[in-house]
Structure 1
Amino acid sequence: MSAPLPPDLPVPPGPATLTTDPWTDLRRHTQARIALGRCGVSVPTAELLRFGLAHAQARDAVQLALDADALCEALHAEGWSSLRTASAAPDRATYLLRPDLGRRLAAPQVQALRTRRPAADPELLIVIGDGLSSLAIARQALPLLRAIRASAPEGEAAIGRAEAPIVVATQARVALGDMIGEALGARMVAVLIGERPGLSSPDSLGLYLTREPRTGRTDAERNCISNIRPEGLSHERAAYKFWWHVLQARAQQATGVALKDMSDTQPLPGLGAPRPA
């Protein structure tokens, strides 16, 4: 017979039970990781598995290459003209290690774009860049462009026509739009780009608007509309904000810190009232 445990030793605990979090009901309103509950002193297994899946999806979104050919075909099918270009980063691995290369064009790409510069400088140029989530481009770019076209004020329907094609750029950072806009003579450039994935948002799209794009522009000279996706800022709401900023940028001759986002409280003539989120 084994000897009894000395009285000063702790008794081994029994099986841990799952303890729910009192904030559980709030999870209906957000994808943020709140009210996970606990099992003993640990995260419940189901939540650990969900975290692993979200982390894998975020990694995949960064690594996955954009199917630029398919995107251009989809643009053409909906009546938009497109033009391809690429940053100076030769591949995805270099792009991730050298952000500076993603912000500029290689010399041959600059020359190729200059040969396509239209006779009349485009008033507004749209650039679609893969950024850090090609998944965001695949899921959000076309729906956003449709919303932009559907809500365009009178006289703004020329986006994506032959004289101002939509430029599809691979291995792109936001500032690449400055060089593209400068090469094509655009007065304003809007860059639609995949944002850095979060653990609940691997497909979030950002839109950056810059007036008089040129090499050397800083982030302080552009406006950003972020988190464009059905679970964040809707395509229709983002399109409204986009046109509000375009019209105000023309009126104030500025983008960036000089142009404050008052789109929720100051509707503009010809644009209508703010759309619901």
Structure 2
Amino acid sequence: MNTPAPPCRSMMDLRKLTPARVGLGRAGASLPTTALLAFTLDHARARDAVHAAFDAQVLIAALGDLGLEACNVRSRAGNRADYLRRPDLGRRLDQASQQVLVSKSGGAGQLALVIGDGLSPRAVHAHAIELVRGLIPQLAADGIKLAGVAVATGARVALGDEIGAILGARMVVMLIGERPGLSAPDSLGAYLTFAPRVGLSDAERNCVSNIHRAGLSYDEAAYKIAWLIRQGLARQVTGVALKDESGDRTPQCIT
């Protein structure tokens, strides 16, 4: 008995499965007008996301509504132009912020939570609070206490290392706007680092990325982040030494 051949799949079928630019067609040696205009629009959205305004006070107020007291800190990047031209300035706190954090250090918490603008402030305003809302009950269920919460302006991922070190946290979680892509200008990332201190490399972090409405959901992201926090604290490692084995289990909603 001959096995029937699988049905032929067209390029249009593939386009239904991904926002990636595939099967756009062509007009002579160029793209069709519709595809070209869509590319130009997405490029403009990505540029706008990088330069979008970041309102730390709005986030601090929203965190307060969740029962979290957050402080406002800044990196050494004096403005957005400096931030984009000098990534190193975004990795260290300015002196005033160091003093603010020192005054809040010495608590009994294990985890420092940092929300930073990163390369897409739009992503942070769109998704960070809802992600934190889903993460709080996960942390409570595991008995993990916060050593402090900070909202950081002009932040690169490594800024969380200095914040976590000053607060005396065993681990830091940095929620930050990711570099905008042409299909996702508002993607949020979460970076987890055990034993944070200045000078660590990205090999010592775990990342949960692509948190946005067309990507990883808040519940899925909160589940993965909580799993990595729990296992990172238990094993006393993050980064290449900690593989995400949370698997495909359905996230449990905690009420």
State the TM-score, normalized to the length of structure 2. 0.90
Q: Pick from 36, 53, 73: which aligns with 1:48?
A: 36
Residues 130-160 of structure 1 deviation map (CA, whole Å, 9 limit, x = unaligned): 000001101110111111124345243644x
Equivalent position of 2:167 in the other structure: 184
Q: Is the 8 A contact 2:204 2:240 kept in 1?
A: yes
Q: Is the 8 A contact 1:263 1:274 kept in 2?
A: no
Q: Distance in 1 between matches of 2:72 and 2:62?
A: 14
Equivalent position of 1:213 in the other structure: 196
Q: Pick from 66, 76, 82: which aligns with 1:78?
A: 66
Q: What stretches of structure 1 of length at least 5 have no aligned partner? A: 1-21, 266-272
Matches within 5 A, 1:61-100: 61-100=49-88
Q: What stretches of structure 2 of length at least 5 have no aligned partner? A: 1-9
State the TM-score, normalized to the length of structure 1. 0.83
Q: Pick from 234, 243, 251: which aligns with 2:234?
A: 251
Q: Pick from 59, 64, 70: which aligns with 2:47?
A: 59
Q: Distance in 2 between matches of 1:37 and 1:200?
A: 18
Q: Distance in 2 between matches of 1:155 and 1:227?
A: 25
Q: Is the 8 A contact 2:104 2:148 kept in 1?
A: no
With over 3 angstroms needed to count, the CA separation of the structure-2 counterparts of 1:138 and 1:119, relative to structure 1, is closer
What is the one-letter code of the residue matched to 2:100? A
Residues 228-265 of structure 1 deviation map (CA, whole Å, 9 limit, x = unaligned): 11211111111111111111112211111111111106
Query: Does 2:118 correspond to 1:131?
Result: yes
| Structure ranking higher in helix proportion | 2
What SS does the corresponding residue of 1:151 show, helix, strand or coil? helix
Superposed structure 1 runs of 4+ greater than 6 Å apart: none
Q: Distance in 1 between matches of 2:106 and 2:163?
A: 13
What SS does the corresponding residue of 1:38 show, helix, strand or coil? coil
Indicate the RMSD between aligned Cα atoms, in angstroms: 1.8
Q: Distance in 1 between matches of 2:215 and 2:251?
A: 14
Q: Pick from 85, 103, 107: which aligns with 1:115?
A: 103
Equivalent position of 1:275 in the other structure: 251
- Larger CA deviation: 169-178 vs 56-65: 56-65
Equivalent position of 2:213 in the other structure: 230
Q: Distance in 1 between matches of 2:237 and 2:170?
A: 11
Q: Is the 8 A contact 2:110 2:144 kept in 1?
A: no
Larger radius of gyration: 1
Q: Distance in 1 between matches of 2:224 and 2:88?
A: 29
Q: Distance in 2 between matches of 1:125 and 1:119?
A: 11
Q: Distance in 2 between matches of 1:168 and 1:251?
A: 27
